[in-house]
């Protein structure tokens, strides 16, 4: 999945799009699982509703005391 998203580095691909493509490909392997478009959308967005482990925020806060946080995008 990720290889196909990174192959064309000229275009930006959202992680949500990667997850949705992976779900669609997975469901073609299991034709007995019939999900509506709405169900697929809800399942794709499930990762956004996950609750982090209790030690994540304190750990990130400690790291922030010594390091700068930044997002990274591929160089073009």
- Token digits for 48? 């956004």
Nearest to 76 by CA among 9, 15, 12, 14: 9
- Residue carrying the six token digits 């946080």: 69
Q: How many alpha carbons fall within 13 Å on the CB side of residue 64?
A: 8
pLDDT tens, 59-74?
A: 999 999 999 988 776 6
pLDDT tens, 4-59?
A: 555 555 677 888 999 999 999 999 999 899 999 999 999 999 988 999 999 999 99
């Amino acid at each position: 999945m990720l290889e196909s998203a990174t192959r064309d580095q000229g275009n930006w691909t959202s992680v949500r799009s990667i997850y949705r493509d992976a779900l669609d490909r997975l469901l073609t392997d299991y034709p007995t699982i019939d999900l509506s478009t709405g169900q697929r959308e809800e399942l794709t967005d499930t990762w956004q509703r996950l609750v982090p482990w209790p030690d994540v925020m304190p750990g990130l806060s400690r790291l922030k005391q010594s390091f700068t946080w930044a997002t990274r995008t591929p160089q073009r």
